[in-house]
Amino acid sequence: MTSKTKLLMTTDAVGGVWTYALDLAASLAPMGIETTLAVMGPPPSPAQRLQAREVKGLALIETGLALDWTAAGPREVLVAGKVISDLARMLSSDLVQLNSPAMAAGAIFPCPIIGVCHSCLATWWSSVRSGPAPEDFRWRTMLMGNGLTACDLLAAPSRAFALQIAAAYGVAAPRVVHNGRSPRPTGSFKQPIILASGRLWDEGKNVGVLDRAAALCKAPVFAAGPLQAPTGAARVEPRNIVNLGLLSTASLDSWLARSRIYVSTALYEPFGLGVLEAAQSGCALVLADIPTFRELWDGAALFADPRSPEAFARCFDELIEDEASADFLGAKAEARAARFSPERMARAMLGLFRAARSRVEEGAAA
């Protein structure tokens, strides 16, 4: 890569992809990659815009374009992809990273495309629901499949999710590039607090099981994150969890620093940035026994059946009553988290950028 390599990367401001994109852009900058971030869907908040301004050399473009999972129909997704391809042409981008690969479904890009799979409705449905998917899931899945095929290279944040993508769409398994985060503050004194975080309204987060577990355990359970989807279509109303709402990064870090236990009851999780942040803060992890969490955290967490509130409550009580065990488990989680740095993520993505450019150049010469 030259010192002037221009990367156009899509993101949204709704969930973890925003955090991922900022961390990646910041870590790529010293490696000679200049990033323009094209924001899809709802606009960033003032706090998020401030975060973006703090990333050296990052340019932010708020497109107002539809996200693939909130679009009213396929045309909105196809139009969004065309606008992004035109933007890449206007900016003379050397590379495009689509954090929503469906955007490649109907557009011709002027440079290599790397599709990064953070989640998708087909794999969400197979993990959370059963039976035939609804019509709006089917056309979104079709566009995702077409987009995956159109990308020059694919990446996913865990091997478990890469295999899910391959099975759902009949493509080669994406290359695995683990997400990374800079270390979070670690509290000197952990309190008997159980914390969860994320998009609580998402059925895949399985908050109903956590809420029932909260009624059975001996310590309070707090959850940071929105209870309602941006579209208003989904909402949860927990009775036993104390909802903290949408916290700033600093506020969430403060909660993580003093929480003894972090929990995720998720049925579906391609990676889990919230879990990584908690591990970096030395929280003891209690996680749903799903393939992604086993892959990333086996030996550094307790696991419970994601359908069993009783199993989670038993884990909570065990760690609340035995501080030494909780501290030991938190230390193991913090040590494991060191594997997932933004610098390592950026180096791996840099390798994919080079591979994508070589593949395109070889194809053009053939």
pLDDT (0 to 100) of residue 124 = 97
pLDDT (0 to 100) of residue 289 = 98
Which pLDDT tens digit goes with each residue over 235-277?
999 999 999 999 999 999 999 999 999 999 999 999 999 999 9
Token couple for 117: 């799979």
pLDDT (0 to 100) of residue 233 = 76
* pLDDT above 90 (res 142): yes
Token couple for 51: 């975060």
pLDDT (0 to 100) of residue 3 = 63
- For the chain, helix, strand, coil in percent to 5 are 45, 20, 35
Q: What spatial distance separates the first Cα and last Cα of the chain, rounded to whole Å?
A: 22
For residues 187-216, give the mean pLDDT. Answer: 95
Q: Where do runs of H (alpha helix) occur along the chain?
A: 16-28, 46-53, 74-90, 121-128, 135-150, 159-169, 207-214, 249-258, 273-280, 291-297, 309-321, 323-337, 342-365
pLDDT (0 to 100) of residue 366 = 64
Indicate the helix (H) or strand (E) that contains 107.
none
The more confidently predicted of residues 229 and 146 is: 146
pLDDT (0 to 100) of residue 5 = 95
What's the whole-model pTM score? Answer: 0.95
C-alpha 3: how far from chain center:
29
Which pLDDT tens digit goes with each residue over 89-138?
999 999 999 999 999 999 999 999 999 999 999 999 999 999 999 988 99
pLDDT (0 to 100) of residue 50 = 95
